[in-house]
Amino acid sequence: MILGLGVDLVFVPDFARQLEVPGTRFLEVFTGAERRAVERRVADRRVDSGGSAADHYAARWAAKEAFIKAWSVAIAGQAPPIAPSDVVWQEIEVYSDAWSRPLLRLHGAVAREVTRTLGPLSGSTGQKPGPADPKSGSTGQKPGPAEPNSGPADQESGSEFEIRIHLSMSHDGDAATATVIIEQV
């Protein structure tokens, strides 16, 4: 069942200007891993991603905003568990699986509050644990990066359901966009 849908669109030229402001700290909303991923994509011309660093950062920013919107829809009728001004944006991290598909990894207060309000997050591949080894979270798929959304926060919800977060990002011309769907599994 779909719990929430969020979409965000970023006008890349304005976003790029914000990144270029002397003394800006805006890049600090991205984790070190996110910054390195952008640098690799821009440097690796074999990747058919095109775009500048601003394009890639704008898409990641759109993903973070789209996640907050999807979460807000999923908890409609409740006050936001984290005030918008208190969101630590690095706690919403965009990364890629082994096949370069974008995923979200939640950390800290964001992970704890999502688990408390919606239920625990499913494993790294976005799939429920397979029958081969349900305790390990193994899905029989090629492993991706370290398990996201795992740890103590996963155990704090009394929900019998898990949630899965789906992410799609794109950039073209002056626009970068992201869509996030939060699904109950």
Give the DSSP letter string of 22-34: TT--GGGGS-HHH
CA 81 to the chain's CA centroid: 18
48 among the known binding-site residues? Answer: no
Residue 183 contacts residue 166 (beta carbons within 8 Å): yes
86 among the known binding-site residues? Answer: no
Q: Which residues contact 133 (CB under 8 A, 6 or more apart)?
A: none
Could you tell me which residues are beta bridge partners of residue 51? none
Sheet strand arrangement including 163-172: 2-11, 175-184, 163-172
How far is the CA of 103 from the CAs of 30, 48, 133, 158, in angstroms?
Answer: 14, 19, 23, 25
Q: Which residues are annotated as a binding site for Mg(2+)?
A: 8, 65
Q: Residues comprising the binding site?
A: 8, 65
